[in-house]
Amino acid sequence: MSRFLTRLVVVLTVITGVNYIAWRWLASLNWDAWWIAVPLVIAETYSLIDVMLFGMTVWKLKIRKGAPPPPHDATVDVFITTYNEDLDMVMTTALAAQRIRHPHSTWILDDGARPELKTLAEEHGLGYVTRSEDWTSNLPRHAKAGNLNNALMQTHGEFLLILDADQIPEPDILEKTLGYFNNRRVALVQTPQYFSNVPADDPLGSQAPLFYGPIQQGKDGWNAAFFCGSNAILRREALMQLGLVGYVKETEKSIRRALAASRSAIKQARKSADMETPLVAKVLDEVEEATREAQQELDAGGALSEITYRVRRRVDAAVQTLVMADVEALQADLEEIAAMELAHVGEAGVPVVADDAVQRMSARDWSPLGALESVQAVLDALSVERNDEAQPVMPLATISVTEDMATAMRMHAMGWASVYHHEILAYGLAPEDLKTMLTQRLRWAQGTIQVFLRENPLVQRGLKLGQRLMYFATMWTYLSGYAAVVYFAAPIIYLLLGILPVTSLSWDFFIRFIPFMLVNQLLFAVAGRGIPTWRGQQYSLALFPTWIKACSTAARNVWFGRPLGFAVTPKARQSGGPSWSLIQPQITVSVLLAVAAVVGIIRLANGLAEPLGTLVNVAWVIFDLVVMSILVRAVLYKGYEPAAEAVVLINTERNPDGV
Amino acid sequence: MEFSYEVKDSYAEVKADGRLNMVSAPKLREFVTDVIAGASNRIVVNLENTAFMDSSGLGALIGCLKAARQAGGDLRIAAVQPQVKMVLQLTSMDKVLTAYGSAEEAFSDD
């Protein structure tokens, strides 16, 4: 019944929505004010697509009845990832993890490599993992994804439970979830992220009941529930498979790129001064021949390991022969000199070039090729060792700061299945100040946009249409910042200047707009089944500067290689007085809205504006201000105060800048 | 899982008998690293009696390949069983490693 009702409201939403937006595009645009009319209709279209994707999500909402009993012999590693969190917090989580009932090994993955934590882990019989010596300082560390990838190489459980340092698990978390893996296709079981240090009114919007509820349940129905970084169980085999596929893909890409670059590198090297030496010229001929052959073999489908091996052997042999010739010439010279100055040589005899000279001089650092950097770079890239990464096999995706979503999408593309288990099985700690919260939201948004730009789900091979749209839906929501700006601008422009983006506010408008608006709200109420969604709606509009910043920084990062962190949330006190500077853009917009409303009413009183337009726009302003009002509470929020118990483990500094 | 090796004229042949999975994979890695250091940097992994391999096993082979290359040699595989062949194809690892019919063939061109 509930499912029928949801679907009915979805259908009504689509009908009323398309009816309204089609009318907006076809019959209502005020072309005289196109500069606001067109952005507004685009923003409204954006919102319609957003709600249609939401409708599609909840269309297949899946309510699971719990997992079958777990296979008793399943081996599990529990990973607790930490970087610089408070040691008490890490240990509380680790000890709770140790108490999980299903047999398992618990590991603290300490990216901070803190000796105190190592000692604590040993005292309590917990596993302790830090980066292996492969992670030298010149190689990318890939933050949490790197931490997990490193640990995967040092452990061997069949399944992995991943917990952030603050997520205290229930003892039955594995018993309740492992059974899903009886289905051999299941690679991931995600459970909700819930925070225990959040008051009922949730001023920072930390709980995400709509996401860890109808949205993930809906995605689950499309086999697209995705990994959210913590409180999830993963199948090692699926992760390793991703790592292997990624390794082959990256290796092939790097070899193709190197071969494509080889021609110009050799040409450039030929122009350089070293060409005076015939030896270098000959080696270059040999390199050119070897790369040409490699290209042919690659095109013929040869195995990468052999292609690269042959290039290396051939170039090494050439270098060696030529160096040998040089050394022999040198030896001959020495002997000649000795013959001429026989009298002076005496007992020592003819000087001899050291035996290992050829080998030494052929080695990379001494080789005549060493001087030709561009050629050497090509030869280095013609390898299967993936020397630009600490490990050739990187199971968790490293294309984004939110490794979780990218990894899940790749799993789905490989044909694996995922499960969303809707039951709180771990309790975490949410940020308790606005600054930390904003930094965290910015990161999530940046990561999502990175994935969107690097591996757009709409064009990923292997994903089903429904899965593509489910991933796309999440990415789409993060574009809301741009729509929000237009939604704030339109009433300000009308109230101040009297410019209306629609041709008229008449019966035609209301008869289309109001049903859509009402059915839209009804959809959230029905799909949400009474869960509070208002906070989430407020923040999706009110954090528009964060969303815009996320989109622009992620785009600059993906397209121009600029670091993401160059525009972090401005510094502000984490404790102490309220930090209004964090929401400066929102304050500016709110003041403009309020001023516009007053001006609009004055204009109306003086007969400069029409009553209906003013009424609609003042109502719109009031709605916008109510939405933004949450930020006032967020700034004034002083952190969680539990009713009676002592404040344990509450630490406002656990999320540092730019992590 | 049982590992053994034998030094031939131009290479060392490593045998991995049994199931090469997430538990035994790190051991293979360790074993081959020792052979590279002690016997030869040219390794043939004979998979004749490897009845089963998972992605962790393949991952260990890549690790071994890297170690052999860094030591100036190479690693090749021979005599793969149908299940292993399937895993190689599934992960597209057959684009990287050629599976030779027998250990003797593996380095015959070099």
Q: CB–CB of B58 and A244 under 8 A?
A: yes
Alpha-carbon span A19 to A513, nearest angstrom: 9
Alpha-carbon span A449 to A553, nearest angstrom: 9
* CB nearest to B69's CB, from A243, A247, A385: A385
Is the confidence at residue A429, as pLDDT, over 90? yes
Residues A500 and A629 in one domain: yes
Q: What percent of chain A has pLDDT over 70?
A: 90
Average pLDDT over residues A152-173: 96
Alpha-carbon span A405 to A416, nearest angstrom: 14
Q: Chain A: residue nearest B92 by CA?
A: A245
Residues A220 and A106 in one domain: yes
User: Considering all CA atoms of chain A, what is the largest pairwise distance in Å, rounded to the nearest integer?
Assistant: 119
Q: How confident is the model at residue A642 (pLDDT cuts 50, 70, 90)?
A: confident
Q: Which CATH number is A99's domain given?
A: 3.90.550.10
Q: Which of A132, A237, A248 to mutate to test the interface with B (most CBs of B within 10 A)?
A: A248
Alpha-carbon span A311 to A360, nearest angstrom: 20
A382 occurs within a structural domain = no
Q: For A69, which DSSP code?
A: P
Angle separating helix axes A584-605 and A611-636, nearest 10 degrees = 150
pLDDT digits (tens, 9 = 90+) for A314-333: 888 887 777 777 777 778 88
Residues A162 and A86 in one domain: yes
Q: Are B17 and B24 in contact (CB under 8 A)?
A: no
Q: Are B24 and B50 in contact (CB under 8 A)?
A: no
Residues 6+ apart with CB under 8 A from A626: none
Smallest CA-to-CA distance from A23 within A402, A414, A504 is with A504
**Per-residue pLDDT, A370:** 62
**Per-residue pLDDT, A529:** 82
Is the confidence at residue A346, as pLDDT, over 90? no
Average pLDDT over residues A257-265: 87
Residues 6+ apart with CB under 8 A from A121: A94, A108, A127, A128
Residues A51 and A88 in one domain: no
Q: Are A323 and A358 in contact (CB under 8 A)?
A: yes
**Per-residue pLDDT, A361:** 61
Q: What residues of chain B score a pLDDT lower than 70?
A: none
Residues A104 and A206 in one domain: yes
Residues A446 and A502 in one domain: no
Interface of B with A (CB under 8 A): 22-23, 25-26, 54-56, 58-59, 62-63, 65-66, 69-70, 74-76, 90-98, 110
A380 occurs within a structural domain = no
A67 occurs within a structural domain = no
Residues A292 and A405 in one domain: no
Residue with the bigger pLDDT between A564 and A192: it is A192
Secondary structure of residue A606 in the 3-state scheme = coil
CA A293 vs CA A236, A389, B77: distances in Å? 39, 27, 23
* CB nearest to B62's CB, from A154, A241, A392: A392
* Structural domain span for residue A610: 2-59+475-636
Q: How confident is the model at residue A125 (pLDDT cuts 50, 70, 90)?
A: very high
Q: CB–CB of A384 and B95 under 8 A?
A: no
Alpha-carbon span A150 to A423, nearest angstrom: 30
Write out chain B residues lying below 8 Å of A157, CB-based. 22
Residues A133 and A180 in one domain: yes
List the alpha helices (DSSP H) in A341-433. 342-345, 357-362, 373-381, 403-413
Alpha-carbon span A13 to B38, nearest angstrom: 71
Which structure tokens are listed for B60? Answer: 């260990």
In total, the C-beta contacts within 8 angstroms joining chain A to chain B are 82
**Per-residue pLDDT, A69:** 92
How many CA atoms are closer than 13 Å to the CA of A402, on its beta-carbon side? 27
Contacts 24+ apart (CB under 8 A), A558-561: A558/A450, A558/A453, A558/A454, A559/A453
* A259, containing H or E segment: helix A236-271
Q: CB–CB of A248 and B58 under 8 A?
A: no
CA distance A158 to chain B (A): 7
Residues A195 and A299 in one domain: no
Amino acid at A511: I
**Per-residue pLDDT, A279:** 73
Q: CB–CB of B96 and A385 under 8 A?
A: no
Alpha-carbon span A64 to A560, nearest angstrom: 44
Average pLDDT over residues A462-481: 97
Write out chain B residues lying below 8 Å of A304, CB-based. 95-96
A392 touches chain B (CB under 8 A): yes
Q: Chain A: residue nearest B54 by CA?
A: A237
Q: How confident is the model at residue A650 (pLDDT cuts 50, 70, 90)?
A: very low
Residues A367 and A402 in one domain: no
Q: CB–CB of A158 and B62 under 8 A?
A: no
Write out chain B residues lying below 8 Å of A154, CB-based. 26
User: Domain B2-101 is of which CATH architecture?
Assistant: 2-Layer Sandwich (3.30)
User: Burial level of B6, CB count in 10 A (0-12/13-18/19+)?
Assistant: middle
Alpha-carbon span B99 to B109, nearest angstrom: 14
Write out chain B residues lying below 8 Å of A236, CB-based. 22, 56
Specify the number of domains making up chain A: 3
Amino acid at A616: V
**Per-residue pLDDT, A569:** 41
Residues 6+ apart with CB under 8 A from B102: B78, B79
Average pLDDT of the residues of chain A: 89
Residues A611 and A500 in one domain: yes
CA distance B18 to chain A (A): 17
A381 occurs within a structural domain = no
Residue with tokens 């009297």, as numbered in its chain? A498
Q: Which of B22, B36, B100 to mutate to test the interface with A (most CBs of A within 10 A)?
A: B22
Per mean pLDDT, which range of A155-169, A188-202, A572-586 is the poorest? Answer: A572-586
Average pLDDT over residues A495-518: 91
Is the confidence at residue A647, as pLDDT, over 50? no
**Per-residue pLDDT, A263:** 82
Q: CB–CB of B54 and A237 under 8 A?
A: yes
Is the confidence at residue A416, as pLDDT, over 60? yes
Q: CB–CB of B96 and A392 under 8 A?
A: no
Q: How confident is the model at residue A357 (pLDDT cuts 50, 70, 90)?
A: low
Smallest CA-to-CA distance from A463 within A224, A249, A216 is with A224
Is the confidence at residue A126, as pLDDT, over 60? yes
Residues A146 and A12 in one domain: no
Q: Are A406 and A228 in contact (CB under 8 A)?
A: no
pTM score over 0.95: no
Q: For A28, which DSSP code?
A: I
A109 occurs within a structural domain = yes
Residues 6+ apart with CB under 8 A from A166: A85, A89, A93, A428, A429, A649, A654
pLDDT digits (tens, 9 = 90+) for A589-633: 999 999 999 999 999 999 998 899 999 999 999 999 999 999 999
Q: How confident is the model at residue A1 (pLDDT cuts 50, 70, 90)?
A: low
Average pLDDT over residues A377-396: 89
Is the confidence at residue A344, as pLDDT, over 60? no
Q: Would you kindly state where each structural domain of chain B is located, as residue ranges? A: 2-101
**Per-residue pLDDT, A123:** 97
Residue with the bigger pLDDT between A565 and A304: it is A304
**Taking the alpha carbons of B67, B70, B72, B77 in that order, is the dihedral positive or negative?**
positive
Average pLDDT over residues A355-381: 68
CA distance B101 to chain A (A): 15
A610 occurs within a structural domain = yes
Q: Chain B: residue nearest A302 by CA?
A: B95
- Give per-residue burial for A32-42: e unless 16+ CB within 10 Å, then b: ebeebbbbbbe
Task: Provide the chain A residues 127-186 that lie in CB contact (below 8 A) with chain B.
Answer: 153-154, 156-158
Q: CB–CB of A392 and B22 under 8 A?
A: no
Write out chain A residues lying below 8 Å of B93, CB-based. 244, 248
Q: CB–CB of A244 and B65 under 8 A?
A: no
Which structure tokens are listed for A1? Answer: 């019944």
A313 touches chain B (CB under 8 A): yes
Is the confidence at residue A366, as pLDDT, over 70? no
Alpha-carbon span B91 to A499, nearest angstrom: 60
Is the confidence at residue A365, as pLDDT, over 70? no
**Per-residue pLDDT, A275:** 61
**Per-residue pLDDT, A337:** 78
A385 touches chain B (CB under 8 A): yes
**Per-residue pLDDT, B100:** 94
Q: In the beta sheet, which residues pair with residue A160? A: A77, A234
A317 touches chain B (CB under 8 A): no
Q: In the beta sheet, which residues pair with residue A186? A: A417
A655 occurs within a structural domain = no
Q: Are A13 and A515 in contact (CB under 8 A)?
A: no
Q: CB–CB of B62 and A305 under 8 A?
A: no
Q: CB–CB of A305 and B110 under 8 A?
A: no
**Per-residue pLDDT, A313:** 86
Q: Are A583 and A590 in contact (CB under 8 A)?
A: no
* CB nearest to A243's CB, from B59, B69, B75: B59
Please tell me chain A's helix, strand, coil percentages from 3-state DSSP, rounded to the nearest 5.
60, 5, 35
Write out chain A residues lying below 8 Å of B58, CB-based. 240, 244
* A131, containing H or E segment: none
Q: CB–CB of A158 and B22 under 8 A?
A: yes
Residue with tokens 């005899």, as numbered in its chain? A349
A80 touches chain B (CB under 8 A): no
Q: CB–CB of B96 and A384 under 8 A?
A: yes
Q: In the beta sheet, which residues pair with residue B43? A: B12, B75
Is the confidence at residue A210, as pLDDT, over 90? yes
A260 occurs within a structural domain = no
* CB nearest to A244's CB, from B66, B74, B93: B93
**Per-residue pLDDT, A368:** 62
Amino acid at A515: P
Write out chain B residues lying below 8 Å of A297, CB-based. none
Q: CB–CB of A383 and B69 under 8 A?
A: yes
Q: CB–CB of B95 and A252 under 8 A?
A: yes
Q: CB–CB of A241 and B62 under 8 A?
A: no
Write out chain A residues lying below 8 Å of B65, CB-based. 305, 384-385
Residue with tokens 């051999």, as numbered in its chain? A184
